[in-house]
Structures are given as structure tokens and as C-alpha cells.
Structure 1
């Protein structure tokens, strides 16, 4: 046998840099899904440690922070009431996210580790998060459609102000 023998190939067919790229991509996806799921599933600060009830969820909790903060106080109340009317689908969404989070934990601990299974679960979690955001978007857009031209203009000004860098807001 000569020293020029070809080293055995990895059975996966992936080169070293491809593995690093795949793992990095998976890690970033998990961080994003984890951060969003964590926000959605977090406990109420100052509460007894019980998860936030769907009836207590606001537009801000659903990923529309600046858009909700730019609404007038009265509009925020109206929209939050509309969100509370969606308590059942939001509670179901939250339960599914919790179930998927548990599946993710199990998949992360599994030996042998299956990155495709983790990716599949992360994709399912992303679908749940997007559904939650769709509910919020539909409610927000319906609310905006019912605004008068003057209310929409005031909302646009507040939104524009909220989106400016903090240093520019005082001007």
C-alpha cells in the first residue's frame, strides 16, 4: 500500500467548509426562532410565574412593537381588544409553539444528532410565528382601513417619528 492513498470520503458527501456553513446556518435559524419563540412564550414580568394568557397579549407582544406604539392610546386600546377577541387561536398557536419547542429540545439532545430534524422543527416553529404575525397584521390593517384620512396622517407622523434615530427625535 502506498502513502499516496486517497483518504476515505465522509459518507455524508459534505466537505469541511460545507459542514461549517450548514451548521452556521442552522445555528442562526435556531437563534432567530428561539428569540421569537421566547418572546411569545415568555412569562409575565412581576407575575406568579404563570405564562401570559392569550387574553393579555397586545400588538407589541406579537411582533409589531413600533407600529403599535405609533397608534394613539385610544387606538392601542381598540386594537388590543380586537387581539383579545382572537384569544382562542392565539392560545392554540402558543400551545403548538410550546410543543414544538419541546420537540426541538429533544432533537438537540438526540444521539446521533440529526440536523435535518432540527431544521424541520425550526421551520415548523417559524410557520407558527408567521401565523401569529399574520393575525396581528390583519387586525392592524383592518384598524388602519377604518381610520379617517386625518387619523391616518397623524398615525403616519407618529410612525415616522418613532422610526427616526433617537438623536433626531428631539428636533
Structure 2
């Protein structure tokens, strides 16, 4: 009977060293991605000015706006589910009816446009309720944020 030889201790050490090297390499890749944001085509652009207008409001005002707009957001979510099914059916239809699909997308665009006006109206009312000093401070925060958006440290040139 031959005894099976167990792998030596050196093999276990080699596997642990290999695992450590792989983890170190993956950590370096993840760190570079976090620092430089990946390829330029994958990095998000600066926030839309509407986002800045919202973010710079006091937290209590943002909370009140969210409460006021719950019905708008609920309608958008509800319509989105139904529209997804309708869009899917329109794309699958045989014969394909481009006009029907276009009409569905037009209606979706109108709903989004209407929601944007509702949001604008609520925002404008909140700004209207501010005192002169509050509006001035808010304007300063918005101006600063708009000037700073998109200012990121330059990325190193790619070697393509």
C-alpha cells in the first residue's frame, strides 16, 4: 500500500502569498477607480442646476417640498409601470406601429414636463416664503454651488 503524500507546508504558504498579492492588486485597482473615477465616459457630469437649487435649500424646506410633491411622484411612478408595459407591447407589435410608440413617448414627455412645472411651482412658493436675508443667503449658496459644480481635479492623461 502506498501512502499518499500530502502537499507540503510550502504549498500552503505559496497559496496565502498568492491570495495576498491578488487582494493587494484588486485594492490598488479599486483605489485608483475611487480616486480618479474611472474612464471619462463613465464619470457623471456636474449636477443639473435644478439639483443645485434643491440641495441648497434648508433641510426643513426640502422636507416640506417632498411632502408637497408626494402626489406628483406617486403619479409618475404609477404611470411609469403602466407605460413600461404599453411601450413593450408597442415595440413587440406586428406590424410595428411607430406612430403608436411615438404617441406613448409623447404622452410620457408631457407627464414629465407637467411634473417639472409642479416642482417649479412648489420651489418658487418656498423661495417666495423666505425673508430677504434668507433669500440672499440662499442665492449666495446657489451661486457658490453653481460655480463649483464640475470643478474636479484634472484627470491624468490616458495612455491611449
Superposition TM-score tier, normalisation by shorter sequence: 0.5 to 0.7
> Alignment RMSD, CA only?
2.2
In the alignment, the residues of structure 2 paired with residue 122 and residue 78 of structure 1 have an alpha-carbon distance, to the nearest angstrom, of 31
Note closer, same or farther for the CA distance 1:166–1:95 as it changes in structure 2 (3 Å cut): closer
List alignment gaps of at least 5 residues for structure 1: 1-62
TM-score scaled to structure 1, two decimals?
0.53
Q: Within 5 Å, which residues of 2 pair with 1:106-145? A: 106-145=89-128
TM-score scaled to structure 2, two decimals?
0.56
The residue number in structure 2 matching 1:75 is 61
- Superposed CA deviations along residues 122-150 of structure 1, whole A, max 9, x for unmatched, are 00111111122122111101111111111
In the alignment, the residues of structure 1 paired with residue 150 and residue 104 of structure 2 have an alpha-carbon distance, to the nearest angstrom, of 38
Q: What secondary structure, in the 3-state scheme, does the structure 2 residue paired with 1:147 have?
A: coil
In the alignment, the residues of structure 2 paired with residue 129 and residue 121 of structure 1 have an alpha-carbon distance, to the nearest angstrom, of 13
CA contact (8 A) 1:64 1:136 kept: no
Q: What secondary structure, in the 3-state scheme, does the structure 1 residue paired with 2:69 have?
A: helix
The residue number in structure 2 matching 1:167 is 151
Q: What secondary structure, in the 3-state scheme, does the structure 2 residue paired with 1:162 have?
A: helix
CA contact (8 A) 1:104 1:118 kept: yes
The residue number in structure 1 matching 2:80 is 97
In the alignment, the residues of structure 2 paired with residue 69 and residue 77 of structure 1 have an alpha-carbon distance, to the nearest angstrom, of 11
Note closer, same or farther for the CA distance 1:97–1:112 as it changes in structure 2 (3 Å cut): same
Tell which structure's C-alpha radius of gyration is larger.
Answer: 2
**Paired positions, count:** 103
- Superposed CA deviations along residues 78-111 of structure 1, whole A, max 9, x for unmatched, are 3223334xx3x54234322321221111111112
More relative contact order in 1 or in 2 (CA 8 Å, sep 6+)? 2
